[in-house]
Amino acid sequence: MTIGIHRPTQLIIDQSAIYHNIATEKSRLKPGVELFQVVKADGYGHGLVQVAKIAEKAGVTGFCVAILDEALTLREAGFNLPILVLGITEPQYADLMASHHISATVGSIDWLEEASRYLIEEHRLAIHLALDTGMGRIGFQHPEELRQAVQYLDQKPQFNFEGIFTHFSKADAADTAYFQHQIDRWKAFMAVLPYRPKYVHVSNSATSLWHDACNGNMIRYGVAAYGLNPSGTELTVPFPLQPAMSLKTKMVFVKKLLKGYSVSYGATYTAQEDEWVATLPIGYADGYERRLQGFHVLVNGEFCEIIGRVCMDQLMIRLPRQFPVGTVVTVVGEDHGKTISLQDVADYCGTIHYEIACGFTQRLKRTYIN
């Protein structure tokens, strides 16, 4: 998608905030516990390579991504730290992963058997075995399957049994019953493990923040690095997170809308009196949801309602008075002591802030500060 560099709409990424969130979490870890930064989905919308650079400066010891192409992008950008692909990669790419020193997630012996046919003799593929303790997504489901997989790996020199992990479904919830259920299943898996590989990891951001006794010797630090509370508003984080993302634009058109005149597709908004209206160059093609009609933005510290349906490329707001074309508008972020957070946007949309941050498209220019 073409980046909109010639319009006044941009995502602003505060690099110092990301550095702070990572460095602070690192300072909380017990000796010997490593931190891998999760940079999947273009760094949760913050920029894959740019976030990786900040994370490396902050002292992370590896990266986690979702798909192989993200890992290859990091290698092409010159990163040499360990990289784990958290999703299942097709076995036919086993040798490509091995040749680039990229670790693979595996959840079945069938995968290992097929992948072994693609590995050339001089390459060795690092493997992290995924355990399904209750997430229901990927991974071995029974301890006996795990035992057989480790036996298989021990017989195949082309594989390096590098890690073992699980993922918690409700680590970000006040009710810990299901979390404890997964812990019990994890322990049952570990009881059949004849030895521990280099990396034993169960902690995402939420687990590390609220259940740090479970950290193992590596955590997968995700959304908290970007200054977002993994639980939304259910739990309080143990240290202040600094949000890294804000979204700014400018008014490109300002007019007086007369009483009885309507705005946008479907004429869903009609002025009840004469009022000032501004048009902003941002819409749902940028990831700013159509369902945000009735929400608000900030103009000089004042909340201004989004009126009419959000269009593909533009939206309209009602102003308290006339403002000049070119006035800065805060869509997400702080303005004169008032704030619109990604959580606020997510709450209005009935979703989570992860989806909002990841949903901003590449058409939005990313500007990096600090």
Q: Which of 226, 258, 277 is the last residue of a domain?
A: 226
Determine if residue 245 is labeled as part of a ligand binding site: no
Q: How many domains does the chain have?
A: 2
User: Is residue 267 located within the same domain as residue 133?
Assistant: no
Q: HSE, CB side, 13 Å, CA atoms: give it for residue 74.
A: 34
DSSP 271-321: -SS-EEEEEES--GGGT--GGGTT-EEEETTEEEEEES---SS-EEEEESS
132: domain CATH number is 3.20.20.10
Instruction: Report the alpha-carbon distance of residue 254 to residue 231 in Å, rounded.
Output: 39
User: Is residue 53 located within the same domain as residue 152?
Assistant: yes
User: Is residue 155 located within the same domain as residue 253?
Assistant: no
Per-residue tokens: 17? 């905030």
User: Is residue 210 located within the same domain as residue 286?
Assistant: no
Is residue 367 assigned to a domain?
A: no
Phi–psi pair at 70, nearest 5 degrees:
-65, -40
Instruction: Report the alpha-carbon distance of residue 253 to residue 240 in Å, rounded.
Output: 38
User: Is residue 95 located within the same domain as residue 151?
Assistant: yes
3-state secondary structure of 183: helix
Is residue 231 assigned to a domain?
A: no
Instruction: Report the alpha-carbon distance of residue 14 to residue 343 in Å, rounded.
Output: 17
Is residue 233 assigned to a domain?
A: no
DSSP 215: -
Give the residue numbers spanning the domain of 126: 15-226
User: Is residue 171 located within the same domain as residue 55?
Assistant: yes
Per-residue tokens: 138? 């990927």
256: domain CATH number is 2.40.37.10
pLDDT in tens, the chain (370 residues): 899 999 999 999 999 999 999 999 999 998 999 999 999 999 999 999 999 999 999 999 999 999 999 999 999 999 999 999 999 999 999 999 999 999 999 999 999 999 999 998 788 999 999 999 998 999 999 999 999 999 999 999 999 999 999 998 888 888 889 988 999 999 999 999 999 999 999 988 888 888 876 768 999 999 999 999 988 888 888 889 999 999 999 999 999 999 999 999 999 999 999 999 999 999 999 999 999 999 999 999 999 999 999 999 999 999 999 999 999 999 999 999 999 999 999 999 999 999 999 999 999 999 999 9
User: Is residue 95 located within the same domain as residue 221?
Assistant: yes
User: Is residue 192 located within the same domain as residue 311?
Assistant: no
CA distances from 109 to 11, 127, 177, 183, 205 (A): 44, 12, 31, 24, 29
Is residue 368 assigned to a domain?
A: no
User: Is residue 211 located within the same domain as residue 63?
Assistant: yes
Instruction: Give me the sign of the Cα torsion angle 311, 315, 318, 323.
Output: negative
Instruction: Report the alpha-carbon distance of residue 312 to residue 177 in Å, rounded.
Output: 44
CB 331 within 8 A of CB 357: no
User: Is residue 132 located within the same domain as residue 39?
Assistant: yes
The reported pTM is: 0.93
User: Is residue 274 located within the same domain as residue 209?
Assistant: no
Is residue 189 assigned to a domain?
A: yes
Instruction: Report the alpha-carbon distance of residue 18 to residue 58 in Å, rounded.
Output: 9
Instruction: Give me the sign of the Cα torsion angle 330, 362, 368, 252.
Output: negative
Determine if residue 185 is labeled as part of a ligand binding site: no
Is residue 359 assigned to a domain?
A: no
Is residue 348 assigned to a domain?
A: no
Instruction: Report the alpha-carbon distance of residue 334 to residue 340 in Å, rounded.
Output: 7
Is residue 103 assigned to a domain?
A: yes
User: Is residue 192 located within the same domain as residue 250?
Assistant: no
List residues with catalytic annotation: 40, 265
